[in-house]
């Protein structure tokens, strides 16, 4: 939802920018005018920050937070709304920042709702738990704080310095590396002048006495039925696994360990990161591994998980990366070489896998017969526009536009899309010569299409939905999870009508006499029943279409939450570069062998001496000549540098399989440089022997620019 203007917000008056610092190169960054004359201050123009008064309720913290009490810290305000995919994308980046600067930076979420249901504090509280947010959040339901800070779009970040001045602003998505570079750049001034006063952040979550319930399912997002084989597949999203049951709820097995990760392998070893939509082929289950930005396949016979598309990093393409000679540089790429952006739902038609790619607001297609994946419909603009599937060049007007597509279904001729941010049901013909059209929704409106929503049944332009996330086709009708209306509706695509099937509209978990749901997000059909992922109720609900539409809650006997990770689990280095070194022999000197780390940095860069330089040495097996008490825990280099030495106590002789993992920060030389983060894992087979010629081995690594 980046850069969508909220109709009530005032026009932002921009002050001139005198310094080209620091959240750049991303667009939307402003630095503000100063009251003082200190020429050494990195923000010679800044403004006194407004207060946070005007919110409805504080969430995820023990009580109200006064900015005055946070003097001595940087405060980063995140203006967000929980429906927004762009807002979701920056939450993990903010979490990295909070962990990197636990005593210097406080992140505060300012939830300024788009949809009516998002104004409710209880719904925001559920979203805070679902997104696993660790910082305080204030419900800005009336947009009072939004207006004070003159915000215009979701997400927007505002930075307040330790003296209480508003110093920077960013509209749109941003990554940790850019934020980290910003704070590394400006922190020295505040430290040198004694303006930073490190202290623990305000207590949140469990620290503030708020314990999340322990439920067998945790915010299930999607569900998929296989009537032929009596199987129900449940995306147990916040447990990071797929639950497999029979249609009557009998537990069969679980796929995934429950830990966050992207590991392939056997069911008990494989890991996911908040999976959502699924599609079923012959003995293969396809999974949208949403927060990993991957597509995974599950071999149901061999019981193994494999990554089939994505690089593991979110795609953030720029327009000029697509353009070449006035046309698109490419329409498709190799699946494992093409970065994805929040795949949310899947549909398999023959040998073509269709993907609701929520991040870029498009429908993608991946061929299972040839190594190819790319856009199928949508110009990348967030909107509700009918027309040709794709434009001549990416983002060009005159073609179809979607708004965070989140659910897929089909009648064999048309792909139906739950287009959530547009509160619409769209239709994408498989024959790309036919245009995309809207079944029910607001594509007809001349403007403000993304802000026309509600709960109105009827026909044609009268129909209103509210952030519908799921859709399934059966017997000529579409059944829709009208998520923010807490209802299941029937949409007749031939007549363009909508009627309510179940749900009072109020959040709840009652089956009868009047059924209630709480933000249902996915649904499927089998054997006369709808199966519904009732997300905020942590449950699967059913509607018996052959028995007076009776609603029931499906009990999955024997299902338990996954085991928590061991508290002493060793730290991981996700995304690290892998280096396999040649086997060496080392001779202990004074009872020690030495590892000489050497990072070759790009020209003009240096290791950031103010950032932590962490490493972990580990060895396979419980015993060996390397002292096990001296390894296996995270260590820090006292004086961070590109070259340093690790000493390992060694006694006796024998072979070891060592791994050395390193996380580092490096910055451009000069006062206006940017900082980056990287990590590397060396694998080193080593033999400890008194007859060896050397006592040290080099661990080299060339850091990419």
pLDDT tens for residues 311-343?
999 998 654 444 333 334 446 899 999 999 999
245-259, 411-425, 579-593, 658-672: range with lowest mean pLDDT: 658-672
Opening angle at CA 342, ends 88 and 124, nearest 5: 25
Residues whose CB falls within 8 Å of the CB of residue 438, separated by 6 or more in sequence, listed in order:
384, 386, 424, 425, 426, 427, 444
pLDDT interval class at 22 (50, 70, 90): very low
Position 415 scores a pLDDT of 98
C-alpha dihedral sign at 4, 290, 377, 360: positive
pLDDT at 224 over 50: yes
Position 128 scores a pLDDT of 97
pLDDT at 111 over 60: yes
Position 207 scores a pLDDT of 57
Residues 462 and 424: beta-carbon distance below 8 Å:
no
Cβ-in-10-Å burial (0-12, 13-18, 19+) of 95 comes to middle
235 closest CA partner among 551, 534, 544, 564: 534
Comparing 199 with 359, which gets the higher pLDDT?
359
pLDDT in tens, 354-397: 999 999 999 999 999 989 999 999 999 999 999 999 998 888 99
User: Across residues 293-313, what is the average pLDDT?
Assistant: 97
Position 468 scores a pLDDT of 98
pLDDT at 14 over 50: no
Element (H, E) at 596: strand 592-600
197-211, 218-232, 446-460: range with lowest mean pLDDT: 197-211
Opening angle at CA 645, ends 691 and 654, nearest 5: 30
Residues 469 and 522: beta-carbon distance below 8 Å:
yes
210 closest CA partner among 65, 57, 61: 61
Other Cβ atoms less than 10 A from the Cβ of 704: the count is 9
607 closest CA partner among 618, 616, 595, 597: 597
Residues whose CB falls within 8 Å of the CB of residue 455, separated by 6 or more in sequence, listed in order:
464, 465, 466, 482, 485, 487, 505
pLDDT in tens, 489-505: 999 999 999 999 999 99
pLDDT over 70, % of the chain: 90
| Alpha helices (H) in 270-354, listed in sequence order | 319-322
Is pTM beyond 0.75? Reply is yes
24-28, 404-408, 535-539: range with lowest mean pLDDT: 24-28
Position 316 scores a pLDDT of 80
Residues 223 and 232: beta-carbon distance below 8 Å:
yes
Position 36 scores a pLDDT of 40
Helix (H, G, I), strand (E, B) or coil at 116: helix
pLDDT in tens, 61-107: 988 999 999 999 999 999 999 999 999 999 999 999 998 898 899 99
Distances (CA, A) of 162 to 57, 78, 184, 212: 25, 17, 14, 33
The first and second tokens of residue 370, run together, are 């040839």
The first and second tokens of residue 463, run together, are 């129909």
Distances (CA, A) of 412 to 331, 338, 428, 471: 24, 28, 11, 15
pLDDT interval class at 428 (50, 70, 90): very high
Q: Alpha-carbon distance 531 to 225, whole Å? A: 8
pLDDT at 567 over 80: no
Helix (H, G, I), strand (E, B) or coil at 544: strand
pLDDT at 570 over 90: no
Print the SS3 string covering 238-278: HHCEEEEECCCCCEEEEECCCCECCCCEECCCCCECCCCCE
pLDDT at 30 over 80: no
Other Cβ atoms less than 10 A from the Cβ of 566: the count is 7
pLDDT over 90, % of the chain: 77
Helix crossing, 176-192 with 85-100: angle to 10°? Answer: 40
The CB-based long-range contact list for 444-451 (8 Å cut-off, 24+ gap) reads 448/7, 449/383, 449/384, 449/385, 449/422, 450/4, 450/382, 450/383, 450/384, 450/403, 450/421, 450/422, 451/7, 451/114
How distant is the alpha carbon of residue 626 from its chain centre? 40
User: Across residues 189-209, what is the average pLDDT?
Assistant: 80
pLDDT in tens, 266-284: 999 999 999 999 999 999 9
pLDDT interval class at 670 (50, 70, 90): low
Distances (CA, A) of 642 to 66, 184, 517, 665: 42, 18, 56, 10
pLDDT interval class at 653 (50, 70, 90): confident
pLDDT at 248 over 80: yes
Comparing 155 with 204, which gets the higher pLDDT?
155
Position 694 scores a pLDDT of 93
Residues whose CB falls within 8 Å of the CB of residue 601, separated by 6 or more in sequence, listed in order:
607, 642, 666, 703
Distances (CA, A) of 29 to 32, 34, 42, 81, 123: 10, 16, 15, 20, 31
Domains (range + CATH), the chain: 47-208 (3.40.30.10), 577-702 (2.60.40)
pLDDT at 21 over 70: no
Opening angle at CA 548, ends 545 and 554, nearest 5: 60
Strands (E), 483-583: 487-492, 497-502, 520-526, 529-534, 539-544, 550-554, 577-580
pLDDT in tens, 446-462: 999 999 999 999 999 99
Element (H, E) at 678: strand 675-688
Q: Alpha-carbon distance 158 to 151, whole Å? A: 9
Cβ-in-10-Å burial (0-12, 13-18, 19+) of 570 comes to exposed
User: Across residues 154-168, what is the average pLDDT?
Assistant: 96
């Amino acid at each position: 939802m980046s850069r969508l203007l909220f109709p009530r917000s005032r026009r932002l008056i921009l002050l001139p920018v005198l310094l080209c610092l620091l959240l750049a190169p991303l667009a939307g960054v402003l630095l503000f005018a100063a009251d003082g004359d200190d020429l050494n201050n990195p923000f010679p123009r800044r403004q006194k920050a407004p207060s946070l008064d005007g919110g409805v309720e504080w969430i995820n913290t023990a009580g109200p937070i006064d900015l005055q009490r946070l003097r001595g810290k940087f405060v980063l305000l995140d203006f967000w709304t929980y429906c927004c995919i762009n807002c979701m994308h920056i939450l993990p980046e903010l979490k990295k920042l909070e962990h990197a600067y636990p005593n210097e930076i406080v992140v505060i979420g300012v939830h300024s709702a788009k949809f009516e249901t998002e104004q409710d504090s209880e719904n925001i509280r559920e979203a805070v738990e679902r997104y696993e947010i660790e910082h305080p959040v204030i419900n800005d339901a009336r947009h009072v704080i939004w207006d004070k800070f003159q915000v215009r779009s979701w997400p927007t970040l505002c930075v307040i310095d330790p003296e209480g001045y508003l110093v920077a602003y960013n509209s749109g998505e941003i990554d940790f590396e850019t934020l980290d570079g910003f704070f590394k750049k400006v922190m020295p001034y505040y430290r040198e002048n004694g303006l930073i006063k490190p202290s623990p952040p305000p207590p949140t979550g469990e620290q503030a006495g708020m314990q999340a319930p322990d439920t067998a399912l945790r915010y299930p997002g999607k569900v998929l039925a296989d009537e032929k084989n009596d199987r129900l597949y449940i995306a147990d999203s916040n447990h990071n696994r797929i639950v497999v049951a029979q249609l009557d709820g009998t537990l069969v097995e679980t796929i995934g360990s429950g830990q966050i990760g992207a590991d392939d392998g056997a069911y008990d070893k494989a890991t996911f990161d908040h999976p959502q939509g699924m599609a079923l082929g012959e003995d293969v289950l396809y999974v949208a591994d949403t927060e990993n930005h991957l597509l995974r396949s599950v071999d149901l016979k061999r019981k193994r998980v494999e990554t089939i598309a994505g690089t593991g990093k979110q795609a953030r393409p720029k327009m000029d990366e697509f353009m070449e000679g006035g046309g698109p540089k490419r329409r498709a790429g190799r699946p494992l070489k093409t970065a994805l952006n929040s795949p949310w739902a899947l549909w398999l038609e023959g040998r073509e896998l269709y993907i609701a790619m929520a991040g870029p607001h498009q429908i993608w297609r991946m061929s299972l017969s040839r190594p190819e994946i790319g856009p199928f419909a949508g110009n990348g603009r967030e909107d509700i526009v009918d027309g040709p599937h794709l434009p001549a060049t990416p983002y060009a007007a005159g073609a179809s536009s979607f708004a965070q597509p989140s659910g897929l279904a089909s009648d064999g001729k048309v792909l139906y899309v739950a287009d959530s941010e547009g509160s619409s049901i769209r239709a994408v013909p498989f024959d790309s010569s036919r245009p995309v059209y809207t079944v029910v929704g607001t594509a007809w409106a001349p403007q403000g299409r993304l802000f026309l929503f509600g709960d109105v049944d009827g026909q044609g332009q009268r129909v209103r939905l509210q952030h519908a996330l799921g859709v399934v086709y059966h017997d000529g009708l579409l059944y829709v999870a009208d998520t923010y209306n807490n209802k299941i509706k029937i949409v007749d695509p031939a007549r363009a009508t909508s009627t309510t099937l179940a749900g009072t509209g109020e959040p709840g978990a009652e089956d009868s006499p009047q059924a209630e749901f709480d933000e249902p997000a996915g649904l499927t059909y089998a054997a006369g029943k709808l199966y519904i992922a009732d997300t905020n109720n942590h449950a699967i609900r059913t509607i018996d279409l052959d028995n007076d539409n009776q609603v029931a809650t499906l009990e999955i006997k024997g299902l338990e939450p996954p085991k928590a990770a061991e508290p002493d689990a060793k730290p991981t280095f996700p995304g690290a570069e892998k280096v396999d070194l040649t086997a060496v022999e080392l001779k202990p000197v004074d009872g020690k062998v030495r590892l000489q780390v050497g990072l070759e940095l790009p020209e003009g860069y240096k290791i950031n001496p103010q950032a932590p330089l962490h490493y972990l040495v580990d060895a396979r097996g419980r015993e060996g000549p390397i002292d096990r008490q001296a390894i296996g825990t995270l260590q820090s280099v006292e004086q961070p540098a590109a070259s340093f030495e690790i000493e390992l106590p060694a006694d006796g002789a024998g072979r070891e399989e060592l791994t050395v993992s390193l996380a580092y920060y490096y910055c451009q030389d000069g006062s206006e440089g940017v900082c980056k983060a990287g990590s590397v894992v060396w694998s080193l087979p080593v033999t400890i022997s008194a007859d060896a010629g050397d006592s040290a081995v080099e661990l080299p690594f060339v850091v990419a620019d």
